[in-house]
Amino acid sequence: MSVAEQNRNKSSLADTYQRETSRLQDELKMSKNQLEILSAELKLAKRKYEKSSVKDTTQNQQMNEVERSNTELLKAAGHILGGKEHEIYGQLMVDLGYKKIYCANPVTLLAQAKIWKKQRAFRQHRAESIANSKMKSSVKGWPGTISIAEIKDPENSEKECFIVDGQHRLAACMLLSSKENAPEGADKVIVEVYPDMQDQNTTDLFVEINKAEPILHVDIPIADVGASATHQAILSGAAERLQKMNPEMFKESQNCRIPHMNIDRLRDELHQAGVIDENGLKSDEDLLKWLEERNKELAQKDDHYWKEFEGNATKMKALEKARKHNFFLGLNWQWLHKH
C-alpha cells in the first residue's frame, strides 16, 4: 500500500472518529439536559417534603442518595463536555472580588445547586403564579438576580453552592422551559455568587436581600425571632391546605383587601400570636382544625357582631363575599387574638 493510500485511510479513520465523537457528545448533552430537568424536579419536591410536618426517614435518605448521585453524574458530564463556561453558573460576566456575576441556565442552576434550608418554604402555586405572569408580560428576560452563597462543607472542605434567593423564579423557569411559546429570555438568569461564605454571612445576606419586601418575622432565620423548623412545617402545611380549600379567598399580595388573605401574612400572624405553643398544636392538621374552628365561630356571628361594617360599602361587600364563600378569617384578626 502506497504512502498516499495509507494517509487517505488515516484521514478517513480520523473523520470517522470525529463524527462518532461528535455524535456521542450530542447524546451526552441531551442526556445531561434530561437529567438536569429530573434533578431540578426532585430538588423542588424534596424542598417541599422537608417543610412538611410528617416525614419518612427512609424516604428522605433515598431522596438524598438520588440527589447526590445525580449531582455526581452531572459534574462528570460537565467535565467531559468541557467548555469555557462554569459548569453550574454558566458565562462569567464580571468578577468584583467579593462576588462574581454570571449568566446562567436556570435549569442547570436548579439541578446542581442546593437550596438554602433557612429561607421560605417552597410553594408550587407561587412558582406557577410567577410563570403565568411571565407568559403575559411584555418584558423580556427576568428582572433581578438569583443569589448564591458558596459555603465549605465542614466534613470534606469542599465548596457547596446554595440558592439563597430566587428558588421560586427558578421553578417558574422550569415550568416555562417545557412550553413551546416560552417568553424570550426566559431561559437565562443573572446570578450573583458570593464565595467563601459562612452560615452567619448567608443569614445576613438573606435578611439584607429581603429587607425591601420586607421579610416577615416568621421567615427571619434567627432564633427567638423567626419560626423554628418544626413550627415552619406546621405553619406552612396548615396555611397551604387552607389555601387549597379556599383558593378564591387568597391573594399573592401581603396587603390584599378584606376578605382575602395572603398565605405569608397568615403564617406570620399565627407565628407572632404564638398560636402553636399556646394551644399545644403538634401538626399542620391540628393547626388546620384550629383555624376551621375559628372560621366556624365567625360564620355563626349575627349582624350585630359585624355592626362596625355598617355604612361602609367596601366592608359590607367584603362581608357579603365572606358569607358567599363561607370564609371569614380574612375580615379581621380579632379571632386570632381572642384565643
The three cell numbers locating residue 43: 430538588
CA distance 312 to 330: 17
Predicted pLDDT of residue 11 = 65
Predicted pLDDT of residue 47 = 66
- Same domain as 227, residue 206: no
B/e letters for 156-185, b = 16+ CB within 10 Å, e = fewer, are eeeeebbbbbbbbbbbbbbbbbeeeebbee
Helix (H, G, I), strand (E, B) or coil at 339: coil
- Same domain as 324, residue 182: no
Average pLDDT over residues 117-124: 77
Domain boundary among 182, 215, 248: 215
Predicted pLDDT of residue 3 = 59
Confidence category of residue 247, pLDDT binned at 50, 70, 90: very high
- Same domain as 174, residue 134: yes
Count of residues in the chain: 339
Number of domains making up the chain: 2
pLDDT digits (tens, 9 = 90+) for 176-216: 887 878 888 888 999 999 998 988 888 888 888 877 666 78
- Same domain as 80, residue 47: yes
- Same domain as 266, residue 187: no
pLDDT digits (tens, 9 = 90+) for 51-87: 555 556 676 677 677 777 767 776 766 766 666 788 8
CA distance 78 to 27: 13
- Same domain as 180, residue 143: yes
pTM, 2 dp:
0.61
Confidence category of residue 112, pLDDT binned at 50, 70, 90: confident
Can you give the residue range of the structural domain that contains 150?
A: 3-215
Our measurement of the distance from residue 273's CA atom to the centroid of its chain's CA atoms, rounded to an integer in Å, reads 26
CA distance 89 to 85: 8
- Same domain as 223, residue 209: no
Q: From residue 313, give the alpha-carbon distance in Å to each of 109, 300, 309, 319, 320.
A: 50, 22, 8, 10, 10
- Same domain as 238, residue 164: no
Q: From residue 252, give the alpha-carbon distance in Å to each of 30, 36, 57, 306.
A: 37, 29, 33, 26
- Same domain as 239, residue 185: no
Q: Exposure of 270 by Cβ count < 10 A (0-12 exposed, 13-18 middle, 19+ buried)?
A: buried
Q: How far apart, in Å, do the first and last CA atoms of the chain sit?
A: 98
CA distance 310 to 36: 57
Domain boundary among 215, 232, 253: 215
- Same domain as 261, residue 153: no
Domain boundary among 184, 215, 246: 215
- Same domain as 124, residue 67: yes
Q: Which of 68, 59, 49, 66 is nearest to 117 (CA)?
A: 49
- Same domain as 164, residue 225: no
